[in-house]
Amino acid sequence: MKLKIGDAVYLQKTDVAFLIYEVGAFPGSFIDELFSGRDMFFINGGIDSLKFSLRFEEPENVEWLMAQDYIPDFEILNGQTISELKKIVDALSNRSREISTEFTDMPLDYQKEHIGQFKMEQSLVAFKQVSYEKMIDYLRGKAEFTFPNGYRPVKPETKKKGWFFGLFGARK
């Protein structure tokens, strides 16, 4: 996920890894800024996967990152309900199945010629789906993101339905 604060965009390390290893097409200034002032860049699985730790300030990078719709924006997702996010996850899951079906229904020659395109589309959908699932866990209180210093997200108000649901902070 990405998080825009002022003139900067913060990413999680998993997002950067995805951009480097899967997408591979980004502005040259992105790599320059990524490694500027950093001795090493490690991606260590679950430990940093929910941490918005990589800051990008170059206007070209900020504009480019904000235009990448397969990297969901935290603020937009944070304004959704769990049921809205679940519907999107279901739609993404359906799209993934459609991509697979489209591919397998194509003639073998076409498959060989376009396999990279199908793999990339499948990867983008899966990556986006994982981000939405992380957000659902966050809204349920099952995961916590680590935000940049001074940033405090506003969690959407819990919708209360009577005293029982109010006790547990249940969300729809």
Domain ranges within the chain, ordered by starting residue: 74-142
Stretch 130-145: mean pLDDT = 92
Q: Are 65 and 18 in contact, with CB atoms under 8 Å apart?
A: no
* SS3 of residue 94 by DSSP: helix
The per-residue DSSP string of the chain comes to -EEEETTEEEEEHHHHHHIIIII----HHHHHHHHTT-S-----GGGTTTBEEEEE--HHHHHHHHH-TTS-BHHHHHTS-HHHHHHHHHHHHHHHHHHHHHHHHS-HHHHHHHHHHHHHHHHHHHHHHHHHHHHHHHHHTS--PBPPTT----PPPP---HHHHHHHT---
CA distance 132 to 124: 13
Quote the percentage of the chain above a pLDDT of 70.
81
Q: For residue 160, what pLDDT is reported?
A: 43
pLDDT value for 34: 75
Average pLDDT, the chain: 81
* Other CB atoms within 10 Å distance of the CB of residue 43: 15
Tens digits of residue pLDDT in 69-123: 888 999 999 999 999 999 999 999 999 999 999 888 989 998 899 888 888 888 8
Residue 156 has pLDDT above 90, yes or no: no
Is 9's pLDDT higher than 90?
yes
Per-residue confidence (pLDDT) for residue 54, from 0 to 100 = 84
Instruction: Kindly give, in sequence order, each residue whose CB lies less than 8 Å from that of residue 140, ignoring residues fewer than 6 positions away.
Output: 82, 171
Output 150 or 94, whichever has higher pLDDT. Answer: 94
